[in-house]
Amino acid sequence: MGKTAVYPGSFDPITNGHIDIIKRGLGIFDTLIILIGYNPNKSSLFSVEERTEMIRGVIVDDKRLSVDSYSGLLIDYVKDSEACCILRGLRAMSDFEYEFQLALMNRRLDRRVETVFLMTGSKWFYCNSRIIKEAASLGGSVKGMVPDSVLKKLKVKFPTMKNNN
């Protein structure tokens, strides 16, 4: 059986930074499960269904990739799916502290599951779903930071968003 990793995140929405991590993750693992983690009590811009649809739209036709959603404890999902690793991306120092704590907690919960980090592609250092949403909501263009199909969905949410840089 090949090696499977779970790539969890909120993906609200999926960005080119996420896609870079997914592509590079496929160079290491045989299969990758992109897992939309959600908290039913927290609000998000896009529903889980919309996020799933957007991800499916950009990863078409790769049998090694699948998309799922989950609101429980990540490590339980990883065990149930028989994955060996959690894949995460690292951007700035601010990511580091949180990711470090998360990885240590997950390791405490199950020592057999490793967290593998990929350093961000330099183009995507500042590519962050939250900042993208903020800029788009204020009318700024985020072209080039998200796939064009996602750009269209953002335009529906934020009609004043500009289309180019």
What is the binding site for ligand ADP (CB under 6 A)?
Answer: 9-11, 15, 17-18, 21, 88-89, 91, 95, 120, 124, 127-130
Record the tokens describing residue 9, joined without a space.
């995140």
Contacts of 42 (CB under 8 A, 6+ apart): none
Record the tokens describing residue 108, joined without a space.
């405490």
Shortest Cβ distance from residue 114 to ligand ADP (Å)? 14
Shortest Cβ distance from residue 105 to ligand ADP (Å)? 14
Shortest Cβ distance from residue 1 to ligand ADP (Å)? 25
Record the tokens describing residue 36, joined without a space.
């939309």
- Cα-based distances in Å from 149 to 5, 34, 93, 96, 155: 26, 18, 30, 30, 10
Residue 109 or residue 116: which is nearer to ligand ADP going by CB? 116
Shortest Cβ distance from residue 68 to ligand ADP (Å)? 14
Residue 69 or residue 128: which is nearer to ligand ADP going by CB? 128
Kindly tell me the burial class for residue 79, based on how many C-beta atoms sit within 10 Å of its own C-beta (0-12, 13-18, 19 or more).
middle
Residues annotated as part of the active site: 18, 42, 91, 129
- Separation between Cα atoms, residue 118 and residue 2, nearest integer Å: 20
